[in-house]
Amino acid sequence: MSTQLYEVVAKGRVGSAATDCLDIDGVMKGKENVPIVNSEISKIMDAFGKSRFESIYLRVGDVEVNLKKTDPVSSSLADRTGFTPKNSLDSQHVKTVSIKSPLMGLIRLAPASNEPPFVEVGATVDPDKVVALVDVLGTLSEVTALYKGRITKILCEADQLVEFQQDLFEIEISD
Amino acid sequence: MNKISRVLVANRGEIAVRIIQACQSLGLETVAVVSNADRNSMAAHMADRSICIGPPSATESYLKIDTLVAAALGSGCDAIHPGYGFRAESPELADVARSHGVAFVGPQAETMRRMANKLQAREEAKELGIPLLPGSELMTNNDEAFEVANAIGWPLLIKAAAGGGGKGMKLVFAPEQLRDALSAAGTEALAAFGDGSLYLERFVPKAHHVEVQILGDSHGNVVHLGERDCSVQRRYQKLIEESPATILSPRLREELREAALVIGRNLSYESAGTVEFLVDPEAQKFYFLEVNARIQVEHPVTELVTGIDLVQAQLRIASGEPLWFSQEDVTFTGHAIECRINAEDPNNNFYPSPGRITKWNPPVGEGIRLDSHCFEGYVVPPFYDSMIGKLIVHDQDRTQTMDRLQRALDDFEVEGITTTMPFLNSLISNPDFQSGDISTSWLENLLKAGALN
Does residue B375 sit in the same domain as residue B261? yes
Amino acid at B300: P
CATH code, domain carrying B177? 3.30.1490.20
B114 has catalytic annotation: no
Is B232 within 8 Å of B239 (Cβ atoms)?
yes
Does residue B257 sit in the same domain as residue B349? yes
A85 or B94, greater pLDDT: B94
Q: What would the pLDDT profile of B338-387 be if each residue is shown by its tens digit?
A: 999 999 999 999 999 999 999 999 999 999 999 999 999 999 999 999 99
At A52, is the pLDDT very low, low, confident or very high (cuts 50, 70, 90)? low
CB contacts of A5 in chain B (<8 Å) are 48
B145 or B27, greater pLDDT: B27
CB contacts of B76 in chain A (<8 Å) are 34
Give the residue from chain A lying closest to B45, CA to CA: A26
Q: What residue spans define the domains of chain A?
A: 7-81, 95-173
- What's the pLDDT score for residue A174? 83
Size of interface A-B (CB pairs under 8 A): 67
Give the residue from chain B lying closest to A25, CA to CA: B45
- What's the pLDDT score for residue A37? 63
Does residue B304 sit in the same domain as residue B181? no
Closest-CA distance, A123 to chain B, in angstroms, reads 29
- Alpha-carbon distance of B81 to B18, in angstroms, equals 11
Test B70 with A30 for CB contact under 8 angstroms: no
- What's the pLDDT score for residue B75? 97
- Alpha-carbon distance of B138 to B327, in angstroms, equals 37
Does residue B144 sit in the same domain as residue B75? no
Q: Report A:75-114 residues touching B (Cβ under 8 A).
A: 103-106
B51 or A92, greater pLDDT: B51
The catalytic residue among B294, B316, B340, B404 is: B294
CB contacts of A103 in chain B (<8 Å) are 54, 67
Does residue B344 sit in the same domain as residue B216? yes
- What's the pLDDT score for residue A90? 46
Closest-CA distance, B425 to chain A, in angstroms, reads 33
Three-state DSSP string of chain B: CCCCCEEEECCCHHHHHHHHHHHHHCCCEEEEEEEHHHCCCHHHHHCCEEEEEECCCHHHCCCCHHHHHHHHHHCCCCEEECCCCCCCCCHHHHHHHHHCCCEECCCCHHHHHHHHCHHHHHHHHHHCCCCECCECCCCCCHHHHHHHHHHHCCCEEEEECCCCCCCCCEEECCHHHHHHHHHHHHHHHHHHHCCCCEEEEECCCCCEEEEEEEEECCCCCEEEEEEEEEEEEECCEEEEEEECCCCCCHHHHHHHHHHHHHHHHHCCCCEEEEEEEEEECCCCEEEEEEEECCCCCCHHHHHHHHCCCHHHHHHHHHCCCCCCCCHHHCCCCCEEEEEEEECEEHHHCCEECCEECCEEECCCCCCEEEECCCCCCCEECCCCCCEEEEEEEEECCHHHHHHHHHHHHHHCEEECCCCCHHHHHHHHHCHHHHHCCCCCCHHHHHHHHCCCC
CATH code, domain carrying B52? 3.40.50.20
Closest-CA distance, A31 to chain B, in angstroms, reads 6
How much of chain A is helix, strand and coil, in % rounded to 5? 15, 35, 50
Query: Could you tell me if A71 lies within 8 Å of chain B, comparing CB atoms?
Result: no
- Alpha-carbon distance of B411 to B417, in angstroms, equals 16
Of B54, B55, B75, the CB nearest to A161: B75
Indicate whether A88 pLDDT > 60: no
B113 falls within a domain: no
Closest CA to B294 of B282, B279, B276, B308: B276
Query: Could you tell me if A136 lies within 8 Å of chain B, comparing CB atoms?
Result: yes
Test A104 with B67 for CB contact under 8 angstroms: yes
Does residue B174 sit in the same domain as residue B293? no
- What's the pLDDT score for residue B392? 98
CB contacts of A61 in chain B (<8 Å) are none
B115 falls within a domain: no
Tell me the CA distances in angstroms from B24 to A3, A50, B102, one per residue in order: 9, 33, 19
Q: What would the pLDDT profile of B143-184 be if each residue is shown by its tens digit?
A: 788 888 999 999 999 999 988 778 889 999 999 999 999 999
Indicate whether A11 pLDDT > 90: no
Indicate whether B304 pLDDT > 50: yes
Does residue B212 sit in the same domain as residue B198? no
Sequence-ordered strand ranges (E) for A30-147: 55-60, 63-68, 95-100, 105-108, 124-125, 130-136, 139-144
Instruction: Count how many residues are written for chain A.
Output: 175
Closest CA to B291 of B139, B132, B112: B112
Instruction: Count how many residues are written for chain B.
Output: 453
At A62, is the pLDDT very low, low, confident or very high (cuts 50, 70, 90)? low
Q: What would the pLDDT profile of A132-163 be if each residue is shown by its tens digit?
A: 999 999 999 999 999 999 999 999 999 999 99
B119 falls within a domain: no
- What's the pLDDT score for residue B146? 87
Does residue B274 sit in the same domain as residue B383? yes
**Percent share of chain B, pLDDT over 70:** 99
CB contacts of B49 in chain A (<8 Å) are 29-31, 34
The predicted model gives B307-313 an average pLDDT of: 98
At A39, is the pLDDT very low, low, confident or very high (cuts 50, 70, 90)? low
B318 or A24, greater pLDDT: B318
Does residue B374 sit in the same domain as residue B250? yes
How high is the mean pLDDT of chain A? Answer: 73
- What's the pLDDT score for residue A167? 97
DSSP A75: S
Closest-CA distance, B449 to chain A, in angstroms, reads 48
At A17, is the pLDDT very low, low, confident or very high (cuts 50, 70, 90)? very low
Q: Please tell me the total count of domains within chain B.
A: 3
Give the residue from chain A lying closest to B97, CA to CA: A137
Q: Report B:75-94 residues touching A (Cβ under 8 A).
A: 75-76
- Rg of the Cα atoms in chain A: 17
Closest-CA distance, A67 to chain B, in angstroms, reads 23
- What's the pLDDT score for residue A8? 53
Indicate whether A44 pLDDT > 80: no
Could you give the count of Cα atoms lying within 13 Å of A37 in the half-sphere of its Cβ?
A: 19
Test B48 with A34 for CB contact under 8 angstroms: yes
- Alpha-carbon distance of B141 to B149, in angstroms, equals 12
Closest CA to A61 of A90, A84, A41: A41
Residue-number span of the structural domain to which B77 is assigned = 6-105
The predicted model gives B126-133 an average pLDDT of: 96
Does residue B356 sit in the same domain as residue B434? yes
Domain boundary among B86, B105, B124: B105
The predicted model gives B319-335 an average pLDDT of: 98
- Alpha-carbon distance of B185 to B197, in angstroms, equals 9
The predicted model gives A8-12 an average pLDDT of: 47
- What's the pLDDT score for residue A20? 37
At B314, is the pLDDT very low, low, confident or very high (cuts 50, 70, 90)? very high
Amino acid at B264: G
Closest-CA distance, A166 to chain B, in angstroms, reads 9
At A46, is the pLDDT very low, low, confident or very high (cuts 50, 70, 90)? confident
B118 falls within a domain: no
Does residue B262 sit in the same domain as residue B371? yes
Closest CA to B264 of B278, B276, B248, B249: B276
Exposed e or buried b per residue across B251-272, where buried means at least 16 C-beta atoms within 10 angstroms of its C-beta: ebbebbbebbbbbbeebbbbbb
Q: What would the pLDDT profile of A105-127 be if each residue is shown by its tens digit?
A: 999 999 998 999 999 999 999 99
Of A106, A139, A163, the CB nearest to B52: A163
At A36, is the pLDDT very low, low, confident or very high (cuts 50, 70, 90)? low
B36 falls within a domain: yes
Query: Could you tell me if B69 lies within 8 Å of chain A, comparing CB atoms?
Result: yes
Indicate whether B276 pLDDT > 90: yes
Domain boundary among B184, B202, B220: B202
Is B204 within 8 Å of B133 (Cβ atoms)?
yes
- What's the pLDDT score for residue A60? 62
Domain boundary among B87, B105, B123: B105
Does residue B45 sit in the same domain as residue B94? yes
Give me the CATH topology for the region A95-173: OB fold (Dihydrolipoamide Acetyltransferase, E2P) (2.40.50)
Is B221 within 8 Å of B323 (Cβ atoms)?
yes
CATH code, domain carrying B229? 3.30.470.20
How high is the mean pLDDT of chain B? Answer: 95
- What's the pLDDT score for residue B97? 98
DSSP A16: S
CB contacts of B24 in chain A (<8 Å) are 1-2
Test B52 with A165 for CB contact under 8 angstroms: yes
What contacts A70, CB < 8 A, 6 or more positions away?
Answer: A80
CB contacts of A166 in chain B (<8 Å) are 52
Chain mean position to CA A71: 23
B114 falls within a domain: no
